[in-house]
Amino acid sequence: MKMKTLYPLSLIIALSFSIVSFNKYEEKKTKENKNVNYTYNTVNDNEDDNSEISNDFFKRYSDLKKYKSDVMSLYKNRTLGSIWFDENEINEFGSVLYEKAKKTNDLIVPYQKEIDLLFDSKSESNISKTDADMLLSSLYVMYTKKNNADKKKLAYDVMLKDFLNYSTIEESSATANLDAKVEYDQYYKLQDVLKKYKKLDRSHKWKPIETEVPYKDLRPDAVSNTIAQVRTRLYLLGDLKQDSKSDVYDRELMDAVMKYKVRNGFKPNYILAEEHIKEMNVPLSEKMETLMLNMERCRAISSQIAASDEYVLVNVPSYEMVYVKNGKVQLTSPVFVGAPLTKTTIFNGEIDRIVFSPYWTVPQSIVQNELRSKIASDPNYLAEKNMEMVNGQVRQKPGPDNSLGLVKFMFPNPDDIYMHDTPSKTLFDFEKRTFSHGCINVKLAKELAVAMLQDYPEWTQAKIDKAMDGKTENSFKLAKKVPIYIVYFTSLVNENGEIGFFQDVYEKDKEVTTENAVVTQ
């Protein structure tokens, strides 16, 4: 899923928000006809100078005079420093403001032509940097007034603090490039979580959980200051309905820990290991970046998913398969996927066949790298593993010990991967499940076959049981192909509206960071 780089994070981080003071009024008057990109000299704080500059500006731009008080409030702690410039260029926030204002219905902006010139690279504007900054501040006041007409009134300088945030840039860039509705509704679910996390971040209640050194696993009935901190964290995240402040690992906290672990893909038990505390301590800023990145991934999902009344979705980082039919989740199952060196491919396909009691034709790479030496050293190796050599290829016969289990689901693809059952059920007990050579191993494979064959009356439960007896391969071609989406989401919202964050098992988040992840409002 290739991301669109719109506003590099390095550029956003580079915004220093430094305040460059304006020239004294006398110096400004000698330069006010120069191009917007001239350099300022630092001046001493002088209220008379500031007042003189503002009086002169609103005299020349008299249609903005009614906004004077609100505009000047933006500069009250800036010594009339520039808001919308970095050195001699309009910064990203100025550009975002301009685009947002243009898209606001019924917003009448005095001196719109002058403002347009500021963003016209071909124009040779004579507007000074001082005037340009105050024009944009006036535009900000008009835009904010229009968009907060029905909301609780806040001071403009207070609202400006929220606007001058890198997420404003990301939100706006997505709006500018997302005219069509996002088809995959997971996008909007992640968006709602992002809003909650932003609110939580502004509350400043997110404090690092401190632990004893060396760390010892925390179990039910333990008493520890760390327990009280975990309780507060789970309350903030919504896993607890109240925060009793208790430092005892009681029944109430056990339920919250289990809820937290299940939604985040951890092994469902009550043990609080160091890795769980480490995950709880991931900064909110990183969580929000992950949410934004996965919102971008939602936009890369095929639009067909919204139109599909039946599909299978496999999310690699959460090691989970979901089968949806008639718009409702029919089955979820744990899976294990390709190891880092034999990654499961991320792509869309169509399941066209279900094969019961399958043979397993061993890939030549496995024969060369793993089996050749074993066969050479043990003449009975193939027979002991229920394998045989056919036309120069090694294949494993049907049976309960077959590496594909008792059923596989085929969807043509150049990488020759598929979903299948497995005799290695104990592997599903691991939290990190990257064991295969690329195929998707499904814990509830039989249940999936039963669910997918409900519209085929000839496939009774008895017939399915017989087909899965491990004696003879039986392939059934589906009259209606079932779309399958193999995706890579490190955060997802489940059916209960709960957010989960998962391991970046293939380090794709590191490859595509939020310098090219974008979010809409």
* Rounded distance between C-alpha atoms, residue 265 and residue 252, angstroms: 20
Instruction: Give the pLDDT score at 45.
Output: 45
The DSSP line for 80-109 is T--SSEETTEE-HHHHHHHHHHHTSTT---
Question: What token pair was written down for 211?
Answer: 């632990």
* Rounded distance between C-alpha atoms, residue 236 and residue 449, angstroms: 40
- Does residue 222 have a pLDDT over 90? yes
- Determine the 3-state secondary structure of 239 from DSSP: coil
- Does residue 223 have a pLDDT over 50? yes
> β-strand 393-396 against 360-361: which pairing, if any?
antiparallel
Task: Provide the pLDDT confidence category of residue 11 given band limits of 50, 70 and 90.
Answer: very low
pLDDT tens track for 328-370: 999 999 999 999 999 999 999 999 999 999 999 988 888 888 8
pLDDT tens track for 29-70: 334 443 333 323 333 344 555 678 888 999 999 999 999 998
Query: Among this protein's residues, is 439 annotated catalytic?
Result: yes
Whole-model pTM: value is 0.65
| Residue 291 or 88, more confident | 291
pLDDT tens track for 19-30: 333 333 334 433
Instruction: Give the pLDDT score at 171.
Output: 57
Tell me the CA distances in angstroms from 297 to 135, 332, 390, 453, 505, one per residue in order. 37, 21, 43, 31, 16
* Rounded distance between C-alpha atoms, residue 319 and residue 85, angstroms: 47
- Does residue 87 have a pLDDT over 80? no
* Rounded distance between C-alpha atoms, residue 24 and residue 455, angstroms: 80
* Rounded distance between C-alpha atoms, residue 521 and residue 514, angstroms: 16
pLDDT tens track for 133-168: 999 999 999 988 888 765 556 678 778 877 776 555
* Catalytic residue of the set 204, 276, 437, 439: 439
Question: What token pair was written down for 469?
Answer: 């007896």
* Rounded distance between C-alpha atoms, residue 136 and residue 95, angstroms: 10
pLDDT tens track for 501-517: 999 999 999 886 534 44
| Residue 92 or 463, more confident | 463
* Rounded distance between C-alpha atoms, residue 351 and residue 348, angstroms: 10
| Residue 386 or 151, more confident | 386
- What does pLDDT average to over the chain? 83
Instruction: Give the pLDDT score at 199.
Output: 92
* Catalytic residue of the set 204, 298, 420, 437: 420
Task: Provide the pLDDT confidence category of residue 216 given band limits of 50, 70 and 90.
Answer: very high
Task: Provide the pLDDT confidence category of residue 79 given band limits of 50, 70 and 90.
Answer: low
Helix axes 47-60, 129-147, angle to 10 degrees: 70
Average pLDDT over residues 174-186: 55
Task: Provide the pLDDT confidence category of residue 170 given band limits of 50, 70 and 90.
Answer: low
Instruction: Give the pLDDT score at 5.
Output: 36
Of 37-46, 215-224, 226-235, 250-259, which range is least confident?
Answer: 37-46
DSSP E strand stretches across 259-325: 310-315, 320-325
